[in-house]
A = this chain, B = another copy of it.
Amino acid sequence: MTRTILPRSSRFPILPWRKFSSLTGPRSAARAISTATRDPRTKMRTWELDEQHLSKIRVNPTRLIDELHYTCQWGTGQRWGKADSETGMSRLALSDADKLARDWFVDTTKSLGCKISVDAMGNTFAIRPGREDGPPTCAGSHLDTQPSGGRYDGILGILAGVEMLKVLSENRVETAFPVGVVNWTNEEGARFPISMVSSGVWAGEIPLDRAHGLKEVGGGSHTMKSELERIGYLGSLPASYEAMPLAAHFELHIEQGPILETEKQKIGIVKGVQAYRWYTVEVDGQEAHTGTTPFNSRADALLAAARMICTSHTAAADHGALASTGILTLSPGSVNTIPGKVTFSLDIRAPTDHILDKLEEHLKSDFDFIVSTESTHGLGLAVSWQTDSVSPAIHFHDDCISTVRASANAILGDDKLSREMVSGAGHDSVYASRRCPTSMIFVPSRNGISHNPKEYTSPEDCAIGADVLLQSVLRYDRLRFARKV
């Protein structure tokens, strides 16, 4: 379960490329690149690496975590512990703090030899050239946070991408094709109220005008466009997968759930994203006095709703799905008045759309049964459903999933330390997957907590995740090379 993290000096007693520099790698791959074009300063070429060598390429764990906390100076949030790094984050998209974090991202990646492209949604692509032209294989995530968020959600994915660029740069690695890092704008939807809005525009799923016109929550007058302009990130590049195609998208992210921790595993190989549906369920009953109305004369909307909530859990468990209620309001809201009306949210999730179809059907029938059995005395109870959101299941690309799996096995040694998962939450990878092969890499979240200042992933687990991300990008580059040949 635990991996001992050696200090940099002992983890890399001999830098791998010092050994590899005399190797030619797999012969067929090597043959495809003319020796005439080789840069003598290059120490390692991805297409020349065999499995044994590739599996030894690792990030610098101390540098990764130090840099992560360094960037958390911009938008530092609520303190929960005594150490410098024991605070949350409050870095809303396109705020001044976000601008400073973006500037750091641009400056750092430029200094590592990347070309920077900013699109009309502020999505920022740092691309490192490869031996050949073509769309980049990218690591991507987001630098914005919830108003009361943590230091890992989104941030870890970007920082691991930057660490990847550092490893490639300092070790003079040449990739067959460009590789890079993308910072997607306003993933959280916390300031401008559509989650993943900018990868959505890039994917052609959300109109640019609608995204530009989004007003900040809380009654402010700023829009996404005005704030992009203000902080200098309204780019000239169209926000589009056509203007900026990606060869593949890999996202390292904290799990935001307890499964890896509970199962004492280190890496989640993310095969896709759960389907989910959001409903508003309204139960109408009859207000009545709690003291003067016997049970058989009631139409208690809250009792019916309580039974529905209990039933939704039982039924979801039976279907291998999830059901949750996060909002419940009732009226009139008096201790001695039986509620006449209850409205509650229902969030159901499952790995496939088919399971959700079945569960929805099951619950509609159960809820009808509940209102018919509660209904007495002609007062009647009624239930109605409103569908607020339907998100189909997302299936990531087999090539990317295999690449992540191979990298996890290479890093962890033991395939019991990783598991295949579906993501329960949405990510920019959902939209990316519509336009390029995609997969994600999950690392453990302490107590499954996220969107909270106490969100935490250990430095060791961050480094393991960054290693898998680094190797996934390199393996995918090698795969592209092999296929091209």
Q: Which A residues are within 8 Å of any B CB, using their own CB? A: 255-259, 262, 274, 276, 278, 287-295, 297, 300, 302-303, 305-307, 309-310, 313, 316-317, 322, 324-328, 330, 333-339, 345, 347, 349, 377, 379, 388, 423-426, 447-452
**B306 and A258 contacting across the interface, CB-CB below 8 Å:** no
Q: A297-B448, A309-B303 are in contact. Are A423 and B292 (CB under 8 A)?
A: yes
Instruction: Give CA–CA (A423, B291) in the complex, Å.
Output: 8
Instruction: Give CA–CA (A291, B317) in the complex, Å.
Output: 14
**A309 and B313 contacting across the interface, CB-CB below 8 Å:** no
**B336 and A290 contacting across the interface, CB-CB below 8 Å:** no
**B328 and A289 contacting across the interface, CB-CB below 8 Å:** no
Contact for A287 among B259, B313, B452, CB less than 8 A: B452
Contact for A425 among B292, B349, B425, B426, CB less than 8 A: B292
Give min CB distance, A22 to chain B, whole Å: 47
Closest chain B residue, CB of each to CB of A288: B448
Give min CB distance, A281 to chain B, whole Å: 12
Give min CB distance, A378 to chain B, whole Å: 9
Closest chain B residue, CB of each to CB of A300: B324
Give min CB distance, A218 to chain B, whole Å: 15
Q: A295-B317, A447-B379 are in contact. Are A337 and B326 (CB under 8 A)?
A: yes
**A297 and B452 contacting across the interface, CB-CB below 8 Å:** no
Closest chain B residue, CB of each to CB of A339: B326
Residues of chain B within 8 A (CB-CB) of A338 are 324, 326
**A322 and B291 contacting across the interface, CB-CB below 8 Å:** yes
Instruction: Give CA–CA (A319, B196) in the complex, Å.
Output: 53
Residues of chain B within 8 A (CB-CB) of A276 are 291
* Contacts A/B (CB < 8 Å), 20 sampled: A255-B292, A256-B289, A258-B293, A287-B452, A289-B450, A290-B349, A291-B426, A292-B423, A292-B424, A293-B424, A295-B316, A295-B317, A300-B324, A303-B325, A306-B309, A324-B338, A326-B338, A327-B334, A327-B335, A336-B425
Give min CB distance, A334 to chain B, whole Å: 5
Give 10 closest A-B pairs by Cβ, nearest first.
Answer: A291-B424, A257-B292, A292-B424, A290-B324, A306-B306, A258-B297, A306-B309, A256-B292, A335-B345, A291-B425
User: Which has the most chain B C-beta neighbours within 10 Å: A294, A302, A335, A451?
Assistant: A335
Contact for A309 among B293, B302, B335, CB less than 8 A: B302
**A289 and B335 contacting across the interface, CB-CB below 8 Å:** no
Give min CB distance, A256 to chain B, whole Å: 4
Closest chain B residue, CB of each to CB of A349: B291
**B297 and A262 contacting across the interface, CB-CB below 8 Å:** yes
Instruction: Give CA–CA (A347, B289) in the complex, Å.
Output: 11
Residues of chain B within 8 A (CB-CB) of A295 are 313, 316-317, 322
Residues of chain B within 8 A (CB-CB) of A349 are 290-291
Residues of chain B within 8 A (CB-CB) of A336 are 278, 324, 326, 347, 425
Closest chain B residue, CB of each to CB of A344: B302
**A294 and B259 contacting across the interface, CB-CB below 8 Å:** yes
Give min CB distance, A189 to chain B, whole Å: 11
Instruction: Give CA–CA (A335, B262) in the complex, Å.
Output: 25
Give min CB distance, A261 to chain B, whole Å: 9
**B288 and A449 contacting across the interface, CB-CB below 8 Å:** yes
**A313 and B303 contacting across the interface, CB-CB below 8 Å:** yes
**A310 and B303 contacting across the interface, CB-CB below 8 Å:** yes
Residues of chain B within 8 A (CB-CB) of A325 are 302-303, 339
